[in-house]
A and B are shown apart, each in its own frame.
Chain A
Amino acid sequence: MKVLHRLALRAYPRSFREEFGGELQRVFDERLRGCRALRRVPLALFCVADTVLSGLAERRNQRLAHRRRRQHAAGRQSSRVHLSWDAVWRDVRFSLRQFRRTPGFPLLIVASLALGIGANTAIFAVVHSVLLRPLPYGDPDALVAIWSHNRGSNEPTNPVSPANFEAFRAAPSLEGAEAMYSFLTRVELRNGPEPEPVVLSEVTPGMFRLLGRAPVVGRSFEDERDGAVLSHQFWRTRLGADPNVIGRTFTLSAGASTVTVPVVGVMPEDFTFPYGSMLWRTSSVRDLTVDLWLPMSRHRDSRLVDAAGQPNRTVHYLAVVGRLRGGATLERARDELASIAARRALEYPDTNTGWGITVRPLHEQAVGAMRPALIILLCGVGLVLLITCMNVANVLLARAAVRGRDLAVRSALGASRARLVQQMLTESVLLALAGGLAGFGVMALSLRALVAAAPPNLPRLDEVSWSPAVVLFGLAVSLLVGIAVGVIPALSAARSRAQDSLRDGTRTTTSAASRRARSALVVAEIALAMLLTVVGGLLLRSFLAVVNTDPGFNPERLLTMQAAVPPRYAGAEATLRFYDELEARLRALPGVVAVGGTTRLPLGSTNVTTFLEVDGRAVPRAEQPEVEMRRALFDYFGAMQIPVVRGRTFGAEDRAGGSGVTVINEALARRVFPGEDPIGRRVRFSPSGSWLEIVGIVGDIRHGSLEEPPKPEFYVWYRQGPPVGPFVVVRTAGDATALADAVRQVFRDLGADPPRDMQTMEAVKSGSVAARRFVLLLVGTFGVLALTLAALGVFGVVTLIAAERTSEVGIRLALGATPPQVLRLLLGQSFALASVGVGLGALTALIGSRVVQAQLFGVTATDPVTYGAVAALLLATAGVAAYVPARRAMRVDPVASLRAG
């Protein structure tokens, strides 16, 4: 920042800088020091902009004063051309006249710039809405996310236990802290004849106050026994924005439990909370939007307190949001909370040993995970724009060459070099601004496509929209592009000597310098295209590696759904009766091979962990291994085709009330029983629970995502503790979706609600890689664009070379050279250009691909296969692009070309 400001100071004239430069820099430093970390960047940018603007104003001022003095002294008009509005206006009209004469050329340039600038503005709009815009809360910079750091399982953002939450909110640097469940709950709203699914977030009553937002209708929560607050969207779309909604009662049910609550408020339209990324990272319901909020209440949730009525210390399931007191820093809050965590570890060693603290700005929590992907996209689209610029500069160079004679005449008539450069810059800036304006159309279209293609769990994507910042960005980019693409041709044209082109008499003048400039541009284009395509190739290989990862089960021909036990089957025995019926009827369906079920569906559901106590090992609870637990229903392992490694799976002999059994996966066997035989050992997952005997070991499966290595897991048999909302998986002989209706009918026949989220396992798997696919899709598009642009560049340069050398080719042919030799000559030249470009591109890619390092999976950033393939692709593209004009040159009639020359 300091460097930036020091650079900005250069806008001032030197004498001013000498007098005040040091002071201005010190003032800048002091301003920044006295301001909060999050405000620092905008303030610094404002100061830099201010410095540049007033520096330029001062410069102008001095120049005017200087001119006045000189005019005064010499008593005559200045002959030098100055940047006056009058001259600019003349140039603009001149350029427009030129464009009208050959409309194809400006249209082509405007179209390609519109693509480049529009794509950039679209990606910037996403970056601006997602990363840069403050969260929709009052003074959002002071909000922080607080997590427990579970050192035992190396999980820095573990949810917080109710007892720890109570302790954390007492930290002096926090103005307050509130909690919510670290997941969203799906429940059924039973107001009408049909139950409606709604998504619920439970928060402590003070949450909205802490966030600095209040309902637009009704009021916020008063205490934990209060009613429901609705989201604006739910109120509008499902209740028709009913103004008399306050006081209506909602009956919500989940499984067999039902609550009836009055509606007390409706939140504002722009209010979103929580963003999926503020929930626990393993929660799969992160892509849902909240329909209503309920106060977190001891009356509904028995886990909030322990048997003694104290806040619970053993379950970790809260996400905590805190607000820093004015003047308190993040570091101080972190220190205080860490010492609270350390004190509690001494006080309650059995539950709190190994639990630290993680504090981060809420904004970081909400969008931090998106940053790498968005930065890749921003870099990628920036490269595309750069290549577009080079192409346009190339076309302008060619045009400048054609117009060399015209420029020479103007120069001979007394136009100064500065005047000519100014005229040409005006032209390119006009073109770029037109491209930018058209780019807004491209942006509007591509934004819609972007949002449609984006995976649903990207935070804040629905907030992406036009804003003054986006428009400003688009215009600023256009202006920069206009100057960048105009400067090379303008200088090169101004440099060419007037006499030469007048004496020459031909219409075109291509100096060696101009040809060198064009070749350099093409080399740079190829190098950048190489960089972009290598990154795309690496992402593609990573994507393929992820998709081809063996999940440990067979995802083909599997239909999955979430079932709910109807309320009339309340109680364990009745629930089992329902399951028996369900299994029998599903298996009887024609085309069904096997039926299974579980409480946690791989790649598509939330996760719970628990501590595992091994019989005969006396270790405190906090040091017990933390493992994942799920229940298995019916023939789960058979239906999923999870291999049984040793022992057996569950069977009819494992009855309810009989001796408890469990099946573990290989990862658990390795972690908890290294070098031992786990079969026959006994474990339990709660201090008061009954012991379970390990009867078998099954293969590992990827649960959280295809990229995460398998975690230790154990399975409990559903007959020894039936769940209420399990996932059911049906393996079919043919197409799984064909059975969907028959399966729904089974649920209907049983008097149960229709199953939720019915989808094939392939779809679940595909959804789990949606974010990766999105980035790949965009970078792939950029790569194709880059290749096309580079090919166009090569085409243009070879055409130029061929045209220039027409007479030389004619002589060669007349002296006996064969056409293939001429072809080889021209192709050889373009290959030389392409090879230099590919070589430079490979070097840039070696450095640039580090940006995507974190996104790579199963492939290194220096993967030789990718580099080789991309280099070959680029050389081939360059060859094809050069072949067309080279062939034309080969067919030259020697006599005609000699006569013309």
Chain B
Amino acid sequence: MHNARMPFKPAESLLPLTPISFEILLALHDGELHGYAILQAVEARLAGRLPMRTGTIYRALARLLDEGLIERSDATADDDPRRRYYAITRLGRETAKAEARRLADQVDAARAHRLLPSVRK
């Protein structure tokens, strides 16, 4: 049922991503990770900024799997072979990029409205 369902879904159709989903894609962008490592990476970055509940992260993982943005990888952990590894799919990468562009666009809009100081290069 997972990513086979809609193989040709355009990346933009999944936007906007929830902040947690976006963070998970960011964490997987640099390489495969197992669930707990994703949890730690996301928590380390967001500590204090978003209310963090274990269940939320795993549910976001399930959603991403379902939508085909990530997939199960064949790798196993050295310390614990029961741990499952996840990898970002091509669709996932594109969606993450699209989401990043969308966010950047919004931030630009915020600058234009002087909610944020404008960047000087």
Contacts and interface: CB of A to CB of B under 8 A. Distances in A.
Are these two chains actual partners, yes or no?
Answer: yes
Interface of A: 16, 19-20, 22-24, 26-28, 30-31, 47, 50-51, 53-55, 57-58, 61
A318 B96 CA distance: 66
Contacts of A23: 34-36, 58, 83-84
B59 A54 contact: yes
B7 interface: no
A54 B55 contact: yes
B59 A57 contact: yes
A50 B58 CA distance: 12
Contacts of A50: 53-55
B3 to A, nearest CB: 14
Q: Which 10 A-B pairs have the closest CB atoms?
A: A54-B55, A23-B35, A20-B58, A50-B53, A50-B55, A58-B59, A27-B54, A27-B36, A54-B59, A16-B62
B82 interface: yes
B25 interface: no
Interface in B24-38: 34-36
Contacts of B91: none
Interface string B71-111: 00000000010111000000000000000000000000000
B55 A51 contact: yes
Nearest to A55: B55
Contacts of B69: none
A57 B58 CA distance: 12
Nearest to A19: B62
B42 interface: no
A16 B61 CA distance: 10
Contacts of B61: 20
A428 to B, nearest CB: 30
A54 B56 contact: yes
B51 to A, nearest CB: 11
A30 B36 contact: yes
Interface residues of B, number: 17
B53 A54 contact: yes
B65 to A, nearest CB: 7
Contacts, number: 49
Contacts of A61: 59
Contact of A47 (B54, B62, B65): B54
Contacts of B65: 19
Nearest to B80: A26
A28 B58 CA distance: 13
Which of B62, B65, B82, B83 is the most central at the interface, judged by chain A CB atoms within 10 Å of its CB?
A: B62
Contact of B36 (A16, A26, A51): A26
B39 A27 contact: yes
B31 to A, nearest CB: 18
A883 to B, nearest CB: 57
A438 to B, nearest CB: 35
Nearest to B63: A61
B13 to A, nearest CB: 16
Contacts of A19: 62, 65, 84
A740 B61 CA distance: 80
A574 to B, nearest CB: 71
Given A19-B84, A22-B82, A58-B55, 7 more contacts: A16-B58, A20-B58, A20-B61, A26-B36, A50-B55, A51-B55, A61-B59
B34 to A, nearest CB: 8
A285 B26 CA distance: 64
Contacts of B82: 22
A19 B35 CA distance: 11
A57 B35 CA distance: 20
A649 to B, nearest CB: 74
A24 B54 contact: yes
Nearest to B34: A23
Given A20-B35, A58-B62, A53 B83 contact: no
Contacts of B56: 54
B22 to A, nearest CB: 19
A745 B24 CA distance: 85
A635 B47 CA distance: 75
A625 B55 CA distance: 62
A844 to B, nearest CB: 38
A53 B36 contact: no
A55 B54 CA distance: 11
A22 B35 CA distance: 10
Contacts of B58: 16, 20, 23-24, 54
A20 B58 CA distance: 7
Contacts of A28: 54
A444 to B, nearest CB: 35
B30 to A, nearest CB: 20
A572 B105 CA distance: 95
Which of B34, B39, B54, B61 is the most central at the interface, judged by chain A CB atoms within 10 Å of its CB?
A: B54
B56 to A, nearest CB: 6
Contacts of B62: 16, 19-20, 58
Nearest to B1: A15
B55 A53 contact: yes
A54 to B, nearest CB: 3
A516 to B, nearest CB: 42
Nearest to A20: B58
Nearest to B58: A20
A26 B34 CA distance: 12
A571 to B, nearest CB: 70
Contacts of B54: 24, 27-28, 31, 47, 50-51
Which of B35, B54, B55, B61 is the most central at the interface, judged by chain A CB atoms within 10 Å of its CB?
A: B55
A50 B53 CA distance: 7
Nearest to A47: B54
Contacts of A47: 54
Contacts of A55: 55
